[in-house]
Amino acid sequence: MKRLWLVFSQSVTVLLAAFFVIATLKPEWLNRKPIVASVVPVFESNEPVASGGGTQGFSAAARIASPAVVSINTSKAPETGPLANDPWSRFFFGEQGQSQPQAGLGSGVIVSPAGYILTNNHVIEEADQIEVLLNDGRKSAAQVIGTDPETDLAILKVDLKELPVITLGDSDGLAIGDQVLAIGNPFGVGQTVTSGIVSALGRTQLGINTFENFIQTDAAINPGNSGGALVDTGGRLMGINTAIYSRSGGSMGIGFAIPTSTAKNVLEAIVRDGQVTRGWIGVEPQDLSPELAESFGLSTNVGVIITGVLQNGPAAKAGIRPGDVITQVAGRSVSNVAQLLSAVAALKPGTAAQLDVVRKDGKETIEVTPGKRTRPRLQEQQR
């Protein structure tokens, strides 16, 4: 009996070993798909941003980038009232209980051969159907992979082959005065290319998104351009066109784009984890003014002052107190609330980070273990 049991156990061991070898090396024999990492294949360029240009440079950039910029058409089913399906109500009052279907228009950028498309969250928000129209005439329904309302970005995916893909540029290398092109589908007239320069960098406190670090440009951006591409004279993606400043509804020479560096991080996080995870320390910050510095007896005018600390939050546990001025987060200098918010959000929850703090009695370096930032309730309700 023992001998039979030994033969049986050895046979099972050999079969299991063979199964694992086949599953690893030849998964198709078992009709199983090989396990792959959740990595987004993208084309990136490390070349410096070209500050020159001219007519020839513009046409070359447009020719390179335009095929990867798509038009996005969205539709939302009409809302029906409680008596919409009541035949007597329809007989006496007509179709008053049913509103008209809503249609939307925007743009997007193909950033991966796998079919991933970057666009704005407000372009596809609450849409029931999303259709993507390529520059070569192909159409496809799109699937929403994930959204990040706090940066107003969304990731779509289409199931098409041989897709044109834009090259991601280094948006951190942009300088004021660099020439750029805006590509999109304004007013639904068809793909349009406009030119301009980078007017400003790092625009914040505009009240558009929670996390703001906009590229400002005077390239004409109009309704329908949202989600389209802002490219340099090499045709490399520098930003996702998002908003305009306008009193008339049309372009007035002030447009804003989300930098590629931000968009790339959101893309990778959503594809990898299904959502963007951000750090949180539980403080109430305020820009440091000379008056506040004097009232707290501080000798510095640089940094962000903490006016409130959440009890039992990560900052409180680390020893942060009201009146502290944070000047650096994990080696990143902060001089206003927007920079502090972005720097803290970039921290990995559960991993300790160092904060440089100025107090009345001197400077200190405090180690804080951030928690996970939760999505605001309003955004949860919108989802």
Of 130 and 53, more confident: 130
Residue reference for tokens 């992979």 = 145
Q: 336: domain CATH number?
A: 2.30.42.10
Catalytic hit among 66, 71, 152, 199:
152
382 pLDDT above the threshold of 50 = no
Res 210: pLDDT = 76
Q: How many CA atoms lie within 13 A of 114 on its CB side?
A: 14
Tell me, yes or no, whether 33 lies in a domain. Answer: no
The per-residue pLDDT for range 177-207, each reduced to its tens digit, is 999 999 999 888 889 999 999 999 888 777 7
- Domain end among 240, 257, 276: 276
One domain for residues 290 and 257: no
One domain for residues 132 and 227: yes
Q: Is 246 among the residues known to form the active site?
A: no
One domain for residues 269 and 318: no
One domain for residues 231 and 311: no
One domain for residues 294 and 340: yes
The per-residue pLDDT for range 62-97, each reduced to its tens digit, is 999 999 999 999 988 776 555 556 665 555 555 554
- How far the first Cα of the chain sits from its last, in Å, is 63
One domain for residues 170 and 256: yes
One domain for residues 66 and 104: yes
- 372-380: long-range contacts at Cβ-Cβ below 8 A with a sequence spacing of 24 or more? 372/277, 372/278, 372/279, 372/280, 373/277, 373/278, 373/279, 373/280, 373/345, 373/349, 374/280, 375/149, 375/150, 376/150, 376/210, 379/149, 379/150
Tell me, yes or no, whether 17 lies in a domain. Answer: no
Catalytic hit among 71, 171, 226, 342:
226
For residue 378, name the pLDDT band (cuts at 50, 70, 90): very low
Whole-number Å distance between alpha carbons of 238 and 182: 10
Tell me, yes or no, whether 84 lies in a domain. Answer: no
Mean pLDDT of 316-328: 91
SS (H, E, C) 234-254: CCCEEEEEEEECCCCCCCCCC
Tell me, yes or no, whether 94 lies in a domain. Answer: no
Tell me, yes or no, whether 231 lies in a domain. Answer: yes
Tell me, yes or no, whether 23 lies in a domain. Answer: no
| Mean pLDDT lowest among 6-20, 227-241, 325-339 | 6-20
One domain for residues 176 and 216: yes
- Domain end among 255, 276, 297: 276
| Mean pLDDT lowest among 6-15, 64-73, 164-173, 190-199 | 6-15
Catalytic hit among 66, 122, 342, 356:
122
Q: Tell me which residue range forms the domain holding 156.
A: 46-75+100-276
One domain for residues 304 and 316: yes
> Which of helix, strand or coil describes residue 205?
coil
One domain for residues 110 and 246: yes
Q: Is 226 among the residues known to form the active site?
A: yes
Nearest one of 185, 186, 244, 247 to 215, comparing CA atoms: 244
- Domain end among 276, 294, 321: 276
Sign of CA dihedral 86, 88, 94, 97: negative
Of 362 and 23, more confident: 362
One domain for residues 205 and 153: yes
Q: 156: domain CATH number?
A: 2.40.10.120
- Which residues contact residue 160 at a Cβ distance below 8 angstroms, ignoring those fewer than 6 apart? 115, 134, 138, 140
One domain for residues 315 and 357: yes
Tell me, yes or no, whether 4 lies in a domain. Answer: no
Domains in the chain, number? 2
Whole-number Å distance between alpha carbons of 119 and 152: 9
Encoded amino acid at 103, one letter: A
Whole-number Å distance between alpha carbons of 270 and 73: 22
Tell me, yes or no, whether 40 lies in a domain. Answer: no
Mean pLDDT of 116-127: 92
